[in-house]
Structure 1
């Protein structure tokens, strides 16, 4: 077997090899059929290379669908990925928007799936959610099942009539460390973007009033790292009052979304789905900044806001997209409207990403090799399997006994 290509442009070979070995050990408990096709949606990061290698070794063919936030501008990494045996990168026109059309999604899959092939959909962000009912019918015997990595992706599959199993790993406790790592990156890089583009610092109370919408893992992580930068006057809002009860004792002000949007001019949107209702954009301050933990398409329903005239794009660059509201107020989306850590390299020295990759992969392998354990519809990965992944990860990376 050819040696895996684990790094591309910087020196993290040791960490990449450790991650590859960890994922490989998880996968070796399962025997996959010769004709297996895996469709995998994931970020086009260098840190994804160990995972992509293992998936390509499991499948007769791996179809890698890069997420839009990191696909653009990463042509060199894509060229590296294409060198992997059994791995094909989907064409640039295979986007989240393209796959919303059930017939387009069917046509895309038929390029690779033959009559005797079985295939898995390893989804990340609900790319196949709009077409899944159609795909479940036309590929009834060939589609093994779906796995979904994220909470906002899972939300898109809710209320779909699924005749195949969908295993979600979005709410596993072992995903929390990676969520907090993402929160740290988002705060760090939003600070960097504000400094680079506007000469502003996050902790300059005279210019910035900070609010966080969403109090899940990512929102709590963002608040934690904001406080670490000596930002004390933070507002937090969530549609679920239960999530807000933890904050008053920790010196964070709880707020309605309406008040937060009215008072804050730097807003972190951490819900994954429609953090700021359209009518509230009419009350937003001039020269406001928004950072999102996923794409603005999901977090703000950006295409609808533009179509309805609530926002008009004015200009921008890779780090900033500038819009104007109906009131003529200027609004800036940090990181070009993507999660504020996506324009930057993600490293392999923090192995938390291998936890959720292992869970995502394991869910797919179990769908394939233990089909009787699953039923049509949405279900989480088994708690016993989650515990086993955690134990194996602790032993592999931290000599846990």
Structure 2
């Protein structure tokens, strides 16, 4: 077997190989059907290469669907990914918006299968959610099941009738370390973009008042890293008031989303589910800086805001997009509205990313090995499987005994 392609430009071979060996060892414990096709939605990070290689070795074809957020930031990486044996990079037109159309989604799948090909969908962010009922019905004998990596992606599947099992790994405890790692990157790179584009420091309280919408893993992580930068006057809001009860004792202002948007001008949107409404945009009385942990599509429903003239784009570059509301107040989307770490070379910071990749892969392997152990509809990976992944990860990277 040829040596796997684990690096593109800058990552250490040692580190990438260490992650590859961990995922490879885990993958060898399950039976894989012949002629399997895996459709995998994934970020175009260099740090994803070990995982992509392992999936490509499992499948007869791995169909790689790059997420919109990192598609433009790393065009050369797609060329590298396309050279991995058995890996097929889809046309860049097959993005999230394209796959929302069931007919388009079906046509994309048919490009890579024949009438007897079994296939598995490893989703990330609900790319297949809009068409999934049609796909399950159309490919009843071939579609083995779906796995979903993220909480905001799972949210998009909740109201869809599913005739196949969907195994979610979005709320596993072993995802928490990677979520906190991501939140550190998002705070760091938001600060870097503010410095580069506006000459502002994120902890300059004379100019910026900071608010965090969403008190899940990522929101709490953002707050932790904001505090580490010396920011003390932080507002936090969430749709679920129960999640806010932990903050007042730490000197953090718990408030409604409306109050937060009214009083803060540096927002971290951490819900993945329209944290800011068109009415809030209309009522802005000052310029606003926004950093998201998912995308402006998820957090603001940006295409609708533009289509309905709630916002008008006036300027953009590699790091920032500026829009104006009807009153002429600017809305600055850091990283163009994508997660603030996506314009940079991230994904190899530490081995926590292999925890959630292992869970995502294992959910698919369990479906392939014995799909009858799962019922139709949404379910979580078992606690036993999660503990096994944690133990193997600790042994592999930290000599846990």
TM-score by length of 2: 0.99
CA distance in 1, matches of 2:105, 2:282: 37
Deviation at 1:286, TM superposition (A): 2.3
Deviation at 1:17, TM superposition (A): 0.5
State the match for 1:164 in structure 2. Answer: 164
State the match for 2:392 in structure 1. Answer: 392
State the match for 2:240 in structure 1. Answer: 240
State the match for 2:108 in structure 1. Answer: 108
CA distance in 2, matches of 1:81, 1:113: 20
CA distance in 2, matches of 1:32, 1:347: 28
Alignment of 1:250-329 (within 5 A): 250-329=250-329
State the match for 2:366 in structure 1. Answer: 366
State the match for 1:57 in structure 2. Answer: 57
Structure 2 gap segments, 5+ residues each = none
Alignment of 1:36-115 (within 5 A): 36-115=36-115
Structure 1 gap segments, 5+ residues each = none
CA distance in 1, matches of 2:197, 2:11: 29
Alignment of 1:349-364 (within 5 A): 349-364=349-364
Deviation at 1:347, TM superposition (A): 4.2
CA distance in 1, matches of 2:206, 2:138: 59
State the match for 1:332 in structure 2. Answer: 332
1:189–1:285 distance in 2 versus 1, CA, 3 Å: farther
CA distance in 1, matches of 2:14, 2:42: 22
State the match for 2:182 in structure 1. Answer: 182
Q: Aligned residue pairs: how many? A: 401
Deviation at 1:328, TM superposition (A): 1.2
- SS of 1:135's equivalent in the other structure is helix
State the match for 1:214 in structure 2. Answer: 214
Given that 1:358 and 1:389 are in contact with CA atoms closer than 8 Å, whether structure 2 keeps it comes out as: yes
CA distance in 2, matches of 1:267, 1:279: 16
Given that 2:48 and 2:347 are in contact with CA atoms closer than 8 Å, whether structure 1 keeps it comes out as: no
State the match for 2:155 in structure 1. Answer: 155
CA distance in 2, matches of 1:168, 1:66: 20
State the match for 1:173 in structure 2. Answer: 173
Given that 1:39 and 1:64 are in contact with CA atoms closer than 8 Å, whether structure 2 keeps it comes out as: yes
Given that 2:100 and 2:127 are in contact with CA atoms closer than 8 Å, whether structure 1 keeps it comes out as: yes
Alignment of 1:115-154 (within 5 A): 115-154=115-154
Which whole-Å deviations, capped at 9, do the CAs of 1:2-59 have from their partners, x for residues lacking one?
A: 1101011014111101100000011000121221000000000100000000000000
Which whole-Å deviations, capped at 9, do the CAs of 1:263-288 have from their partners, x for residues lacking one?
A: 10001000011001211112224221
1:349–1:282 distance in 2 versus 1, CA, 3 Å: closer
Deviation at 1:399, TM superposition (A): 0.6
Deviation at 1:370, TM superposition (A): 1.3
State the match for 1:203 in structure 2. Answer: 203
RMSD in angstroms over aligned alpha carbons?
0.8
Which whole-Å deviations, capped at 9, do the CAs of 1:66-115 have from their partners, x for residues lacking one?
A: 00111114222111111111001000111100001101100110011111
CA distance in 1, matches of 2:98, 2:349: 35
CA distance in 2, matches of 1:164, 1:347: 31
- SS of 2:348's equivalent in the other structure is coil
Deviation at 1:254, TM superposition (A): 0.7
Given that 1:306 and 1:312 are in contact with CA atoms closer than 8 Å, whether structure 2 keeps it comes out as: yes
**Which runs of at least 4 in structure 1 moved beyond 4 Å after TM superposition?**
none
Which whole-Å deviations, capped at 9, do the CAs of 1:299-321 have from their partners, x for residues lacking one?
A: 11111111222111111111100
CA distance in 2, matches of 1:261, 1:11: 39
Alignment of 1:340-355 (within 5 A): 340-355=340-355
State the match for 1:226 in structure 2. Answer: 226
Deviation at 1:349, TM superposition (A): 4.5
Deviation at 1:251, TM superposition (A): 1.0
CA distance in 2, matches of 1:399, 1:30: 24
TM-score by length of 1: 0.99
CA distance in 2, matches of 1:347, 1:242: 32
